[in-house]
A and B are shown apart, each in its own frame.
Chain A
Amino acid sequence: MDTKPTTSTASILDFLNRFIAALGITAAVSVEESADGPRLNLTGDEAELLVRHRGEPLKALQHVVDMAFSRSLPDDTRVFVDALEYRKGKDIELRHMAKFLAEKAKQTGLDQQLGPLNPYERRLVHMAVAEVPGVTTESIGDAFSKTVLISLRK
Chain B
Amino acid sequence: MPGVREVVEVMAKALADQPNDVRVTESQHKHMTVIELFVAPGDLGKLIGRQGRTAAALRTLASSAGEREGKQVTLEIREGR
Contacts and interface: CB of A to CB of B under 8 A. Distances in A.
B2 A23 contact: yes
A150 B15 CA distance: 39
B15 A68 contact: yes
A52 B60 CA distance: 11
A64 B2 contact: no
B60 A67 contact: no
B53 A63 contact: yes
Contacts of B53: 63
B64 A18 contact: no
Interface residues of B, number: 23
B65 A67 contact: no
A22 B15 contact: no
A104 to B, nearest CB: 35
B67 A15 contact: no
A15 B57 contact: no
What's the dominant secondary structure at chain A's contact region? helix
A15 B15 contact: no
Interface string B65-81: 10110000000000000
Q: What's the interface size class on A, roughly?
A: 20 to 34
A145 B11 CA distance: 27
A56 B67 CA distance: 14
Nearest to B2: A24
B60 A60 contact: yes
Contact of A22 (B2, B56, B57, B60): B2
A31 to B, nearest CB: 17
19 contacts: A19-B11, A21-B6, A22-B3, A22-B9, A22-B10, A22-B65, A23-B7, A23-B68, A49-B67, A56-B60, A57-B61, A60-B56, A60-B57, A63-B53, A63-B57, A64-B11, A64-B57, A67-B15, A68-B11
Interface of B: 2-3, 6-7, 9-11, 14-15, 46, 49, 53-54, 56-58, 60-61, 63-65, 67-68
